[in-house]
Amino acid sequence: MSPTLKSQNPKPVAPPGRLPKCPTGIQGLDEITDGGLPRGRPTLVCGGAGCGKTLLGAEFLVRGATQFNEPGVLMAFEETEAELKANVASLGFDLAGLVRQKKMLIDYVHIERSEVQESGEYDLEGLFVRLNHAIDSIGARRVVLDTLEALFAGLPNEAILRSELRRLFRWLKDKGVTAVITAERGREQLTRHGLEEYVSDCVILLDHRLNDQIATRHLRIVKYRGALHGTNEFPFLIGDKGISVLPITSLALNHQVSNERIATGIPRLDAMLGGKGFFRGSSILLTGTPGTGKTIISCNFAKAACLRGERVLFFSFEESPNQIIRNMHSIGLRLEPCVKRDLLRFHSARPSLYGLEMHLATMFKEIAEFQPDVVIVDPITSLVEAGTDSECKGMVTRLIDYLKAGQVTTLFTSLTQGGHALQQSEMAMSSLMDSWLLLQDFEGNGERNRVVYVLKARGMAHSNQVREFLISDRGIDVVDAYIGPSGVLTGSARAAQEALEKAGLLTGQQEADRRKRELERKRIAIDRQISGLRSDYETEALELRRIDEQVGTSTLMLNSERAASGRLRQADAKVAGGLRHRARLARIN
């Protein structure tokens, strides 16, 4: 079988004008190399001991064989076939299976200087023949030489070796295979024996650096002839699924957004957030000093999500799952049913267990496995211990971007140390967050009381009020804090103030009642007076009427008496007719 170099390639052909690339299948590496390693050319991977050179090579071959249908040859100079198989099995690579299926071939080259005696001119045709045979026997398109520099130790004549290596790289190019050559990092140059002078197309540098007792692996593309590539140093890690390079810069800000709102599990808190809670897929930061109830709010949020049938992944860096579940009993929050229904999963790890990148990889892995709707990280500040601030921010950025891309709502709690400004979040993470709740202690009257307020909530009307936040055995309650002339009062001061107000109100009411009663009494008194006066008046009026009647009667009687006496004096009646009239007038006058 001869290596068919141009045909049967399932990968899309690169557009004209671009260097054809060979995807590695290694998570993240293809992104920063913009498609993979240069196809048909050798790539040099150099780095110190234990930084993952062999693994990168092995994964390149395994992914090629399994994902891109490109068989590969691994020529190992340091490890035997059996050792290699055992070593990469821990990453879930089944080398033995691939070898059986003829998708991979491992050729262990053993050179021991003490067994070899130089006795004249020679060349490395043996190596070429073996490599050629290996490539041809499985139709390999990829080759890894790990570590070619062992030849320098095994063969005495460096001049011959160098000329032969030059020939080897030329030959590999002519053969059209995509090759990865690993080499040990040198002191002043990239490789100990200056292999970079032969491999000029692509050079990748691996590095394993210790920073404050925590080791992080980094990958950097030193050189990539004829192609754009990320030039930064990218952290990478070796997880149980192989290498994953974590590029920050390759993530774009273009994720989908949702208008759906999800409740926090605390009705009054929802009310503070425009009445509906957070946006789905948003990132929420919960800052607070120690003991302000960050975990409790988180657990409430988790429970509320579980009750909606959503899946919640809870990363706890301070407490074990059982401890959290037990502690939540004290506020009447039962999380076991959620755990039992597999809606809630805890992942607890000490921050110092491993480096930041490893934490991130573990989190990615858990998230990918569990497919949660809500992710809670309690607290994110613990991770600062596992790395520097800038690394931590980078990590949070990556985590948020990753989660937002999947429309996962994320709640981070952040511990603010006492004495610091509350708005200071260690990692300057606030700009990454869509909503920010602040929990605070109010100290006074010999007690500490918790208050909560919404510092920011992007895209929603939210309350500007400080609310007191009560934790009882019935759960969380958010109540209005007393805001009056004497400032914001909470706790017993608020209760006392409320009692005082109640007493004041009562007194006022009593006073009003008393006045009302008095007025009534007055009204009744006046009424009584009025009726007295009226009866007086009526008596007098009656009297007046009686007098009137008497007067009338007496006048009548007088008139009739006069008439009678006139009749008695009839004699002068005629004369007196005119006189009578005058006399009557005079009498009247």
Partner 1 sequence: MNIKTPKRRKRSLVSAPVKAGQCVLRLFVAGASVRSRQAVMRVRELCAAELRANCRLEVIDIYQQPQLARDNQIVATPTLIKEYPRPVRRYIGNLLNTSGLFADLPAPLKPNRVN
In the complex, what is the shortest distance from the CB of residue 152 to partner 1, in angstroms, rounded to a whole number? 12
Interface map 521-560 toward partner 1 (x if CB under 8 A): ----------------------------------------
Q: Could you tell me which residues come within 8 angstroms of residue 47 by beta carbon, excluding any fewer than 6 positions away?
A: 53, 182, 184, 185, 205, 206, 207, 208
In the complex, what is the shortest distance from the CB of residue 171 to partner 1, in angstroms, rounded to a whole number? 13
Cα angle: 336, vertex 342, 347; to 5 degrees: 80
Q: Binding of partner 1 at residue 473 (CB under 8 A)?
A: no
In the complex, what is the shortest distance from the CB of residue 111 to partner 1, in angstroms, rounded to a whole number? 6
Q: Binding of partner 1 at residue 122 (CB under 8 A)?
A: yes
CA distances from 452 to 287, 350, 433, 465, 509 (A): 10, 28, 17, 9, 35
Distance of CA 445 to the CA centre of its chain: 35
Q: Tell me which of 50, 92, 97, 126 binds partner 1, using CB under 8 A.
A: 126
Q: How many residues bind partner 1 (CB under 8 A)?
A: 25
In the complex, what is the shortest distance from the CB of residue 354 to partner 1, in angstroms, rounded to a whole number? 40
Q: Tell me which of 13, 89, 116, 542 binds partner 1, using CB under 8 A.
A: 116
Q: Tell me which of 18, 100, 133, 546 binds partner 1, using CB under 8 A.
A: 133
Choose one: 111-119, 140-148, 273-281, 441-449; the region binding partner 1 (CB under 8 A): 111-119
User: Given the complex with partner 1, which of 123 and 336 has the nearer CB atom?
Assistant: 123
Q: Tell me which of 109, 299, 335, 415 binds partner 1, using CB under 8 A.
A: 109
User: Given the complex with partner 1, which of 95 and 262 has the nearer CB atom?
Assistant: 95
In the complex, what is the shortest distance from the CB of residue 108 to partner 1, in angstroms, rounded to a whole number? 8
Q: Tell me which of 13, 92, 123, 228 binds partner 1, using CB under 8 A.
A: 123
User: Given the complex with partner 1, which of 154 and 321 has the nearer CB atom?
Assistant: 154
User: Given the complex with partner 1, which of 118 and 540 has the nearer CB atom?
Assistant: 118
Residue 582, both tokens = 């005058």
Q: Binding of partner 1 at residue 154 (CB under 8 A)?
A: yes
How many angstroms separate the CA atoms of 520 and 523, rounded? Answer: 5
Q: Is there a cis peptide before residue 379, judged by omega within 30 degrees of 0?
A: yes
Q: Binding of partner 1 at residue 115 (CB under 8 A)?
A: yes
User: Given the complex with partner 1, which of 119 and 259 has the nearer CB atom?
Assistant: 119
Q: Binding of partner 1 at residue 120 (CB under 8 A)?
A: yes
Q: Tell me which of 134, 325, 451, 454 binds partner 1, using CB under 8 A.
A: 134
In the complex, what is the shortest distance from the CB of residue 253 to partner 1, in angstroms, rounded to a whole number? 53
Q: Binding of partner 1 at residue 419 (CB under 8 A)?
A: no
Tell me if 172 sits within 8 A of 179, measured CB to CB: yes
Strands 142-146 and 72-76: parallel
Q: Binding of partner 1 at residue 130 (CB under 8 A)?
A: yes
Q: Tell me which of 86, 89, 118, 320 binds partner 1, using CB under 8 A.
A: 118
| Active site amino acids | 78, 318
Residue 177, both tokens = 């295979």
Q: Binding of partner 1 at residue 166 (CB under 8 A)?
A: no
Cα angle: 119, vertex 124, 126; to 5 degrees: 100
In the complex, what is the shortest distance from the CB of residue 160 to partner 1, in angstroms, rounded to a whole number? 8
User: Given the complex with partner 1, which of 125 and 498 has the nearer CB atom?
Assistant: 125
Q: Binding of partner 1 at residue 99 (CB under 8 A)?
A: no
Choose one: 117-125, 393-401, 498-506, 544-552; the region binding partner 1 (CB under 8 A): 117-125
In the complex, what is the shortest distance from the CB of residue 145 to partner 1, in angstroms, rounded to a whole number? 12
Cα angle: 489, vertex 435, 407; to 5 degrees: 145
User: Given the complex with partner 1, which of 152 and 236 has the nearer CB atom?
Assistant: 152
Tell me if 411 sits within 8 A of 284, measured CB to CB: yes
How many angstroms separate the CA atoms of 73 and 203, rounded? Answer: 20
Q: Binding of partner 1 at residue 306 (CB under 8 A)?
A: no
Choose one: 1-9, 149-157, 316-324, 353-361; the region binding partner 1 (CB under 8 A): 149-157
Q: Tell me which of 129, 257, 524, 530 binds partner 1, using CB under 8 A.
A: 129
In the complex, what is the shortest distance from the CB of residue 235 to partner 1, in angstroms, rounded to a whole number? 37
User: Given the complex with partner 1, which of 117 and 486 has the nearer CB atom?
Assistant: 117
Tell me if 199 sits within 8 A of 43, measured CB to CB: yes
What is the SS3 string spanning 549-561? HHHHHHHHHHHHH
How many angstroms separate the CA atoms of 91 and 96, rounded? Answer: 13
What is the SS3 string spanning 57-97? HHHHHHHHHHHCCCCEEEEECCCCHHHHHHHHHCCCCCHHH
User: Given the complex with partner 1, which of 13 and 116 has the nearer CB atom?
Assistant: 116
Tell me if 408 sits within 8 A of 372, measured CB to CB: yes
Q: Binding of partner 1 at residue 151 (CB under 8 A)?
A: yes
CA distances from 428 to 82, 521, 570 (A): 49, 72, 140
Q: Binding of partner 1 at residue 576 (CB under 8 A)?
A: no
How many angstroms separate the CA atoms of 62 and 60, rounded? Answer: 6
Give the three-state DSSP class for 272. helix
Using alpha carbons, select from 462, 438, 440 the residue that is nearest to residue 270.
462
How many angstroms separate the CA atoms of 181 and 244, rounded? Answer: 19
Tell me if 302 sits within 8 A of 335, measured CB to CB: yes
In the complex, what is the shortest distance from the CB of residue 65 to partner 1, in angstroms, rounded to a whole number? 20
Distance of CA 440 to the CA centre of its chain: 19
Give the three-state DSSP class for 106. strand
Q: Binding of partner 1 at residue 155 (CB under 8 A)?
A: yes
List residues near partner 1 by CB under 8 A. 107, 109-111, 115-127, 129-130, 132-134, 151, 154-155
